[in-house]
Amino acid sequence: MSYIRIAKASWDGGLEKARKAYELIGPVPEKDSHKYAVLAAGQLPDMGFKSTKLSPKWVVFPQSEVMFEYTLDESKANHHILQEVPAAPGARAVIGIRPYDAKAIQLTKMNFDNKDYKDPFWLRNYERCTFVGLAINEPSSTDFSTSCGTGPFAEEGLDVLLVDAGDAFIAKVLTDKGKKFLSEAGFAEEAGADAAKAVEDLKAKAEAAITSKVSYNKIAGKTIMDLYDAPFWKDVLFGCINCGTCTYACPTCWCFDIQDEVKGTDGVRVRNWDSCMTGLFTHHASGHNPREHEWERTRQRFMHKLKYFVDKYDAGLMCVGCGRCVEQCPANIDIRTVCNTLNDF
């Protein structure tokens, strides 16, 4: 494990060098918050950002992704045959991704890359990425990541972890991909013998600042039907309006729909984000909907994250404790309350 010191005065110049080898993605201002976006020529990430309304999960799972294209023109030899859209070329570096968002990508990877199924579109997006994380020195009041198997300085899923140390970043090199990125940027100054301790001290301070927690140690021992039929659901979820904000803001939600879009004789098959909170999501062609009521759809969301995922993968919750859904829910429904209610039931 090595540590590199990056003086903030040389940060911008290094990124410009890295831009020759990578498409850069990073946090940029958007109204009263920030978002992750592809950085245009000359544009640099705002490394002083606090949070983003959406996670950067779109780098591996775009909101809309064209998978295939085809023609209905019967004068062409390949008519009515799906043609896979070639992968975008080149490497990407995701600058400033938060540790809990990197962990979220590893959780969703269990769905898109496992022994039974490998999603080629998700995987090709993932493999072109180098994840350059930014530790969180001052966690928000809704951050409960330390009780979800990650934390403000967690390293899982990252290639480099950057730590803001005042006038410089300390870069903890975690993988060969991370080492290559730093080399392309020209960041090579050894951070010195005190770097590891400085990072550990900041980590301990940040983790101690997180007082919000969830408990789920008893959920795996409960039966699905006991939790599914529990009497508290209608009360806990009474205010939910099924707007779907939580699902789109969540870094671990992966519901999608596939649609064909045709103009003239040219067509594309597109994968779009969807939400289990919408009535149409489970509406059968027969007209039957197994989740007819709003509270049933909200129950599905929480059962998936807090019970089904736990049972299927034995890898903890399908939640990284980023707090986005807590901050953005217009009905003030709090996943921490729901999780603790399930655990104590």
**Model-level pTM?**
0.95
Question: Which one, of 326, 344, 325, 208, lies nearest residue 275 by Cα?
Answer: 325
> What's the pLDDT at 238?
86
What CA–CA distance (Å, rounded) separates 96 from 29?
Answer: 13
Helix (H, G, I), strand (E, B) or coil at 305: helix
> Is 324's pLDDT higher than 80?
yes
Helices 176-185, 8-18: inter-axial angle, 10-degree rounding: 100
End-to-end Cα separation, the chain, in angstroms? 44
Let me know: does 131 contact 94? Beta carbons within 8 Å: yes
- One-letter amino acid of 94: V
Residue 237 pLDDT class (50, 70, 90 cuts): confident
Share of the chain above pLDDT 70, in %: 100
Q: Which two tokens stand for residue 240?
A: 């939910």
> Which segments within the chain are labelled E, that is strand?
2-7, 22-30, 33-38, 64-71, 83-84, 91-97, 129-134, 160-164, 168-173, 256-263, 266-273
For residue 303, CA distances in Å to 99, 233, 256 come to 25, 11, 18
Q: 71: how many CB neighbours lie within 10 A of its CB?
A: 18
What CA–CA distance (Å, rounded) separates 135 from 152?
Answer: 6
Compute and round to an integer the Cα radius of gyration of the chain. 22
- One-letter amino acid of 239: G
Share the mean pLDDT of the chain: 96
What CA–CA distance (Å, rounded) separates 232 from 298?
Answer: 13
Let me know: does 143 contact 137? Beta carbons within 8 Å: no
Let me know: does 183 contact 18? Beta carbons within 8 Å: no
Residue 236 pLDDT class (50, 70, 90 cuts): confident
Q: 321: how many CB neighbours lie within 10 A of its CB?
A: 28
DSSP H stretches of helix in the chain: 8-18, 99-112, 120-127, 176-185, 195-209, 224-228, 233-236, 245-249, 294-303, 309-313, 324-328, 335-344
What CA–CA distance (Å, rounded) separates 106 from 117?
Answer: 16
- pLDDT (tens digit per residue) in 12-71: 999 999 999 999 999 999 999 999 999 999 999 999 999 999 999 999 999 999 999 999
